[in-house]
Amino acid sequence: MTVVKRQPMPDAGATDVKALEPLLIELTRPGRGGRHVRAETSADIPPQFQRKAPLGLPELTEPQVVRHYTHLAELNYSVDGGMYPLGSCTMKYNPKVNDRAASLFADLHPRQSYRTTQGVLALAYELEQMLVKITGMDFVTLQPAAGAQSEFTALLMFKAYHAKRGDAKQRRRIIVPDSAHGTNPASAAMCGYQVTTVKSDARGNVDLEALKTALGPDVAGFMLTNPNTLGLFEERVREVCDAVHEAGGLVYGDGANMNALLGVARPGDLGFDCVHINVHKTFSTPHGAGGPGAGPLCVKKHLRPFLPKPWIVRENDGTYHYDTAREDREPESIGDSIGSVKQRLGNFGVLARAYTYIKTLGEEGLTETGRDAVLAANYLLALVREKYDVAYDRTPMHEFVLSAAKQKKQGATALDLSKALLDEGFHSPTVYFPLIVPEALMIEPTETEPKETLDAFAAALNRLADRAASDPTSVHDAPKNTPLRRLDEVAAARSPKLKWQRPT
Ligand SMILES: *Cc1c(COP(=O)(O)O)cnc(C)c1O
């Protein structure tokens, strides 16, 4: 296998998207059209609701439209186009068979009766069972649409759990480590909790003594990622969970990093009360750019009553239904459940892809996946550790964190290096996260990259370290070969233009 480098774009180095591709509406020529099917539907619409003037859609031929979107797609970097070492995001290759399987369900309506969707319920039920086995938990809800929503769901359940024990009023605090993903404290705050941060120790673990000091009768729970966002296994995870339980709190497992543990360790055995799974990371469903995801929440028995409704029930005769309403009506009573966080089964297409991925790999394949992900990260680290500082000198799991502090002193920051990598034909790693590592470069190669690609990526990183030492300005000026150069990221986030406006 050879590694194909991306060619520089002919109009490389622009600073304005419009230099690359005009908007469809700007290509319009009155009277030009690409319609093949003419449907006469106005007969069904009462006259007062019928449109009086044309809609003003772009008038273009079909090939023009196809080329417009194809060109836009080509401007993007994707995991189908190259390595995507974005730490904490697990951008592994997404097998196409998953999409094929998901497309089988494309015509279903979200509120279709359980009577005509037995196969859908069977798939969802089986996926729940598989996740129970993988995580070592007891029950699952497939509803949450992302990891963050799963955190939110679980924390609402923590609240309901403490309320049931008459303890909710005083338990108003959630503790998170200082290495936590930003969604952890955000979800806790959204649930109305106060957030306390505990520091990490010199080995990159949660500082157990600091945690014990922070614990008390006002703590509802603790959120822990394992392996944590430094890519390190929490060495005292059992003691951590015991300490939280002793104080009457619950332990939330952020399972976004499950890739490293597949078939090797189960959060349920490590002491967690629940864990969320980012199927769009670990189980290879496409994600990014806000695309659909799914964050099933797996819980221990004592949290089951609080799970979102409806639940899928399998009868002894092998048929399935929703527990709340056989006739598909909304439930009258949902008991102790927190209610519903997303319609019925959540993002079913994403779940169907995850199901397919797990089924095609099987138990052995999943275990190999986890081991290969760890092997790839360790191999890559060995190739680059001479030229960069390593944040914590331990054997990492599926990802590792470098520090470009040395390069910053030479004149090239982590951001500069990440931009220069684009010119080398690679997507950037995650930068400036976790927050506790200065000039962090967080790299997660995943198990799906061949050795040649890992070698080429390491060579690129090492070349950049040399350039930072000899010619930092050239690193600072990157990227030069990408369709767009450095964008005003603050303006893009603070005042995005989401709507086309007719030029005045
Ligand atoms: C990605 C991630 C999340 C959030 O998941 P989303 O699906 O993006 O909401 C939470 N924690 C960690 C460690 C993650 O990597």
The token pair at 93 is 């290759």
DSSP 44: G
Is the distance from the beta carbon of residue 179 to the nearest atom of ligand 1 less than 6 Å?
no
Give the residue from 358, 351, 353 showing the smallest Cα distance to 110. 351
Residue 131 CA, distance from chain mean position = 17
Question: What pLDDT, on a 0 to 100 scale, did the predictor assign at position 111?
Answer: 82
Contact between 415 and 408 under an 8 Å Cβ cutoff? The reply is no
Pocket mutation for ligand 1, best pick of 84, 88, 226, 281 (most atoms within 8 Å of C-beta): 88
Q: Which atom of ligand 1 has the smallest separation from the CA of 146? A: 7
Helix, strand, or coil (residue 255): strand
Residue 172's φ and ψ, nearest 5 degrees, are -120, 10
| Distance in Å, CA 183 to ligand 1 centroid | 7
Burial (Cβ within 10 Å: 0-12, 13-18, ≥19) of residue 289: exposed
Q: Which atom of ligand 1 has the smallest separation from the CA of 151? A: 10
195 forms beta bridges with 174
Helix, strand, or coil (residue 122): helix
C-alpha pair distances (Å), 201 with each of 206, 225, 327, 344, 392: 6, 15, 55, 42, 10
Place of tokens 């629940």: 274
Give the residue from 436, 447, 457, 441 showing the smallest Cα distance to 93. 447
Cα–Cα distance measured from residue 55 to residue 30, given in angstroms and rounded to the nearest whole number: 13
DSSP H helix total and E strand total for the chain: 15, 13
Residue 112 CA, distance from chain mean position = 28
pLDDT per residue as tens, the chain (504 positions): 344 444 445 455 566 666 677 778 788 888 887 666 666 666 788 889 888 887 878 888 888 889 999 888 888 888 989 999 999 999 999 999 999 999 999 998 888 889 999 999 999 999 999 999 999 999 999 999 999 999 999 999 999 999 999 987 899 999 999 999 999 999 999 999 999 999 999 999 999 999 999 999 999 999 999 999 999 999 999 999 999 999 999 999 999 999 999 999 999 999 999 999 999 999 988 887 667 899 999 999 999 999 999 999 999 999 999 887 555 555 557 889 999 999 888 999 999 999 999 999 999 999 999 999 999 999 999 999 999 999 899 999 999 999 999 999 999 999 999 999 999 999 999 999 999 999 999 999 999 999 999 999 999 999 999 999 999 999 999 999 988 888 888 888 898 888 877 766
DSSP string, 361-372: HHHHHHHHHHHH
314 forms beta bridges with 320
Give the residue from 283, 292, 235 showing the smallest Cα distance to 255. 283
Place of tokens 């009573």: 333
Is the distance from the beta carbon of residue 148 to the nearest atom of ligand 1 less than 6 Å?
yes
Burial (Cβ within 10 Å: 0-12, 13-18, ≥19) of residue 56: exposed
| Distance in Å, CA 181 to ligand 1 centroid | 7
194 forms beta bridges with 173
The token pair at 127 is 């996926």
The number of residues making up the chain comes to 504
Question: What pLDDT, on a 0 to 100 scale, did the predictor assign at position 326?
Answer: 54
Domain ranges of the chain: 1-76+373-504, 138-324
CATH topology identical between 1-76+373-504 and 138-324: no
The token pair at 360 is 């095609």
Peptide bond into 479 cis (omega under 30): yes
Q: Which atom of ligand 1 has the smallest separation from the CA of 295? A: 7
Residue nearest to atom 15 of ligand 1 (CA): 88
| Distance in Å, CA 281 to ligand 1 centroid | 9
The token pair at 345 is 């089964």
Is the distance from the beta carbon of residue 384 to the nearest atom of ligand 1 less than 6 Å?
no
Is the distance from the beta carbon of residue 181 to the nearest atom of ligand 1 less than 6 Å?
yes
Pocket mutation for ligand 1, best pick of 153, 155, 183 (most atoms within 8 Å of C-beta): 183
Residue nearest to atom 14 of ligand 1 (CA): 256
| Distance in Å, CA 146 to ligand 1 centroid | 8
Q: Which atom of ligand 1 has the smallest separation from the CA of 225? A: 13
Is the distance from the beta carbon of residue 88 to the nearest atom of ligand 1 less than 6 Å?
yes
Is the distance from the beta carbon of residue 278 to the nearest atom of ligand 1 less than 6 Å?
yes
DSSP 150: H
Q: Which helix (H) or strand (E) holds 402?
A: strand 400-403
| Distance in Å, CA 276 to ligand 1 centroid | 9
Q: What are the start-end ranges of the H helices in 196-263?
A: 208-214, 237-246
| Distance in Å, CA 501 to ligand 1 centroid | 34
CATH class of 1-76+373-504: alpha beta
Cα–Cα distance measured from residue 40 to residue 86, given in angstroms and rounded to the nearest whole number: 49
Q: Which atom of ligand 1 has the smallest separation from the CA of 281? A: 1
| Distance in Å, CA 165 to ligand 1 centroid | 30
Cα–Cα distance measured from residue 4 to residue 93, given in angstroms and rounded to the nearest whole number: 16
Residue nearest to atom 8 of ligand 1 (CA): 147
- Sign of the four-CA dihedral 452, 457, 460, 461: negative
Burial (Cβ within 10 Å: 0-12, 13-18, ≥19) of residue 8: middle
Question: What pLDDT, on a 0 to 100 scale, did the predictor assign at position 164?
Answer: 96
- Sign of the four-CA dihedral 417, 418, 422, 426: positive
Residue 259's φ and ψ, nearest 5 degrees, are -50, -40
Contact between 293 and 287 under an 8 Å Cβ cutoff? The reply is yes
| Distance in Å, CA 225 to ligand 1 centroid | 10
Helix, strand, or coil (residue 311): coil
| Distance in Å, CA 417 to ligand 1 centroid | 24
Pocket mutation for ligand 1, best pick of 181, 274, 433 (most atoms within 8 Å of C-beta): 181
Is the distance from the beta carbon of residue 387 to the nearest atom of ligand 1 less than 6 Å?
no
Contact between 487 and 15 under an 8 Å Cβ cutoff? The reply is yes
Confirm or reject CATH 3.40.640.10 for domain 138-324, answering yes or no.
Answer: yes
Peptide bond into 267 cis (omega under 30): no
